[in-house]
Amino acid sequence: MPINAEEVNKVASLSKLELSNAESEVFTKKLQSVISMVELLEEIDGEGVEATFTVAHNRSVYREDVALQANMKEELLARVPETEDGYIKVPAIMDDGEAGA
Amino acid sequence: MTELFKKNIEELHQLLVSKELSAKELTAQTFERIEATEPNVEAFLALNKDHALKRAEKLDNIGIAEGNVLAGIPIGIKDNIVTKEMPTTAASKILENFMSVYDATVVDKVNEAGLISVGKLNMDEFAMGGSTETSYYKKTKNAWDQTKVPGGSSGGSAAAVAAGQVPVSLGSDTGGSIRQPAAFNGIVGMKPTYGRISRYGLIAFSSSLDQIGPMTRTVKDNALVLNAISGHDVKDSTSAQLEVPDFTSTINDGVKGMKIAVPKEYFGEGVNPEVVAAVKEAIKTYEKLGAIVEEVSLPHTKYGVAAYYIIASAEASSNLQRFDGIRYGYRSPEAKNLEEVYVKSRSEGFGEEVKRRIMLGTFSLSAGSYDAYFRKAGKARTLMIQDFDKVFADYDLIMAPTTPTVAFGLGENIDDPITMYMSDVLTIPTNMAGLPGMSIPCGFSQGLPVGLQIIGQPFGEAQMYKAAYAFEQATDHHKKLPVILGGN
């Protein structure tokens, strides 16, 4: 299946990635070669074959739903890029900040 | 000093027990060895000298008992396994300087066994690659020839052991990432059965394929470390609820009467003739030792790489969505709103290989492609599992080359994803089926090590160690050392 730059940019957008024009060209070429490689799978007659998505030996694992006090707020906040007053700080959600909310 | 770093775990243990060497002296000399060899090898991303020396001193004060074989032994940890005491980056810019608030279960187990964690080892970014060249931070070199790649993604873990920086390291293996670098560096690498070892605290790449395992210079060392890190963990629902045997207890039983299957598809086009010759010679050794060797067929082998890249990338696209510029490490300074925080942080924080796999995963899971790609890959996986089941109905083990070639040159394949992906063609099938696979040194080609791959039945690691140990006892390949470790 041929893939073009427009489709690559759409997949990038779904993946929360943006590509420059130069990157888009490189990714289109390399993704095309990978997609052509995986099309080998078309040879397989999958009629009546169940797909496998896990090889784990335990299929369902249950436990009591018990609340535990973690009390690690400071340690966790120390690992995010920016904090203020004990909260994770991110840029304004609206493009023009609070005024537009 | 070089002599000390040719020693295996058992030999070091004897020196520690007899007090000819203290754990603190061994630890201090390990850091000297690392400092002396790092300019050539570049295996480590972080070191933990002060903490390691303190731990060693504590161990010396308590005393190292005869039966406590791993106490005081230095170990390196692949940088996708989280540690409280050192940063964990998965070799990615997006996790630069990230410090975990907890230790992975394997790290807890390593600590409980008395091993001394000396540092974090370089790898391909998020374990995506076969040469350790996709690391954001540095390019590790092969211990045997510093113009060659160490393999990947556990390239740092393999090179550090082969260069005598540490006697053991932990790696992770999603499609061959322990076995391929073990083969390229002439060491022993074990990818245990899926579920044998807890993955809690392993930064997930492809959850249905990833497994942690030990990398060592000898087979018995490897079994000793697997003993320590295996077992059920309530924090990982995919870890198996099975008793863990002592993998060393039957290691000396030999291979007489053992039935070994040799799949013809693993010796086909693209596998270097010198690699084939070395592996066939190794298999002849097994016949001489009394094993029964027969050729078999695993007909769906050729679909492995294609199915793997769909499944692994699909799972990666989901697992890596958590790196969004908010919860960990890197955030783009250019972001002006929430959407831009996600998009710009991810676009600037991930390298090209990781982006390409996320995109392939997103593509294969999208509405128009799911049946043709993701479901089809799952069906190919079923057929590969059925192939293995048929062979294991009649045979104890499968033997084959670990890799199609010996280590290739730095920069040689980095722009050619298909060639790079094909270097895992012989290791991927075991991950797809969740089987244990290991690589042991079995010869040389162009002065570089060749790996023999041993594939076992689910939870059949003891049988694999038995076979690997018999070969090691009968041959001298593991005794040949790279120049950096005193070889010539």
Tens digits of residue pLDDT in A43-57: 999 999 999 999 998
Tokens representing residue B65 in the block: 């008992």
Give helix B304-319 / helix A21-38 axis angle, nearest 10°: 140
CA distance linking residue B323 with residue A13, whole number of Å: 15
Distance from CA of A74 to the nearest CA of B (A): 10
Distance from CA of B423 to the nearest CA of A (A): 14
Average pLDDT value for residue range B296-311: 96
CA-based end-to-end distance of chain A: 44
Tokens representing residue B109 in the block: 């187990």
What domain range is A10 assigned to? 3-42+64-86
pLDDT of A98 strictly over 80:
no
Q: Does A25 touch chain B (CB under 8 A)?
A: no
A residues 34-73 lying closer than 8 A (beta carbon) to B: 34-35, 37-44, 46, 49-58, 61, 63, 72
- Which of B105, B119, B150 lies closest to B44 in space, CA to CA? B119
- pLDDT at position B253 is 98
Residue A76 domain flag: yes
Distance from CA of A85 to the nearest CA of B (A): 16
DSSP per-residue string spanning B292-353: EEEEE--TTGGGHHHHHHHHHHHHHHHHGGG-SSSSSS---TT--SHHHHHHHHHHHHS-HH
Domain count, chain A: 1
Q: Count Cβ–Cβ pairs < 8 Å, chain A vs chain B.
A: 175
CA distance linking residue B190 with residue B213, whole number of Å: 6
CB contact under 8 A, B240 and A57: yes
Q: Is the ipTM above a cut-off of 0.90? A: yes
- pLDDT at position A101 is 38
Secondary structure (3-state) at B211: strand
Position B348 confidence tier, pLDDT thresholds 50, 70, 90: very high
* Closest Cβ opposite residue A37 in set B306, B317, B364: B306
Q: Which residues pair with B449 in a beta bridge?
A: B444
Secondary structure (3-state) at B140: coil
> Which phi and psi (to 5°) does residue B286 adopt?
-60, -40
For residue B325, list chain A residues with Cβ-Cβ distance below 8 A.
Answer: 81
Average pLDDT value for residue range B108-115: 98
- pLDDT at position B299 is 96
DSSP per-residue string spanning B410-427: TTSSTT-HHHHHHTTTTT
For residue B302, list chain A residues with Cβ-Cβ distance below 8 A.
Answer: 40
Residue A17 domain flag: yes
Residue A34 domain flag: yes
Mean pLDDT score of chain B, rounded to an integer? 96
CB neighbour list of residue B349: distance below 8 Å, 6 or more residues apart: B92, B93, B94, B323, B325, B329, B330, B332
Q: How many other C-beta atoms are found inside a 10 Å radius of the C-beta of residue B64?
A: 21
CA distance linking residue B55 with residue B274, whole number of Å: 46
- pLDDT at position B2 is 59
CA distance linking residue A34 with residue B153, whole number of Å: 19
Average pLDDT value for residue range A61-90: 90
Which of A3, A4, A10, A17 should one mutate to test binding to chain B, selecting the residue with the greatest count of B CBs within 10 A? A17
CA B1 vs. chain centroid, Å, equals 27
Position A100 confidence tier, pLDDT thresholds 50, 70, 90: very low
- H helix runs in B96-138, sequence order: 105-112
Residue of B nearest to A53 (CA): B378
pLDDT of A68 strictly over 90:
no
Tokens representing residue A99 in the block: 């005024």
Q: Which residues pair with B121 in a beta bridge?
A: B44, B78
- pLDDT at position A60 is 81
Residue A23 domain flag: yes
- pLDDT at position A97 is 52
Beta carbons of A39 and B363 less than 8 angstroms apart = no
Beta carbons of B311 and B206 less than 8 angstroms apart = yes
Q: Is the peptide bond before B423 cis (omega within 30 degrees of 0)?
A: no
Token pair 């992975």 is at which residue?
B104
Q: Does A94 touch chain B (CB under 8 A)?
A: yes
What residues of B are labeled active site? 78, 153, 177
Average pLDDT value for residue range B221-232: 98
CB neighbour list of residue A93: distance below 8 Å, 6 or more residues apart: A101, B337, B338
Tens digits of residue pLDDT in B69-97: 999 999 999 999 999 999 999 999 999 99
* Closest Cβ opposite residue A80 in set B327, B363, B364: B327
- H or E, element range at B259: strand B259-263
pLDDT of A31 strictly over 50:
yes
For residue A80, list chain B residues with Cβ-Cβ distance below 8 A.
Answer: 326-328
Q: Does A74 touch chain B (CB under 8 A)?
A: no
CB neighbour list of residue B241: distance below 8 Å, 6 or more residues apart: A58, B232
Type of residue numbered A39: E
Tokens representing residue B443 in the block: 């010869």
- pLDDT at position B1 is 53
Tokens representing residue B242 in the block: 């099975």
Longest CA–CA separation in chain B, Å: 70
Average pLDDT value for residue range B262-290: 97
CA distance linking residue B14 with residue B19, whole number of Å: 8
- The one-character DSSP state at B245 is P
- Which of B439, B463, B461, B443 lies closest to B452 in space, CA to CA? B439
Q: Which residues pair with B77 in a beta bridge?
A: B120, B170
Residue of B nearest to A36 (CA): B306
CA distance linking residue B323 with residue B94, whole number of Å: 7
- pLDDT at position A99 is 43
Residue A92 domain flag: no
Positive or negative CA dihedral for B116, B431, B265, B124?
A: negative
Side-by-side strand order, sheet with B437-445:
B44-47, B116-121, B74-78, B168-173, B211-216, B188-191, B437-445, B448-455, B397-401, B259-263, B292-296
Residue A31 domain flag: yes
Residue A96 domain flag: no
Residue A50 domain flag: no
Residue of B nearest to A55 (CA): B434
Mean pLDDT score of chain A, rounded to an integer? 88
Task: Output the pTM of the full model.
Answer: 0.97
pLDDT of A17 strictly over 70:
yes
Average pLDDT value for residue range B408-413: 96
pLDDT of B192 strictly over 80:
yes
Token pair 């709103």 is at which residue?
B337
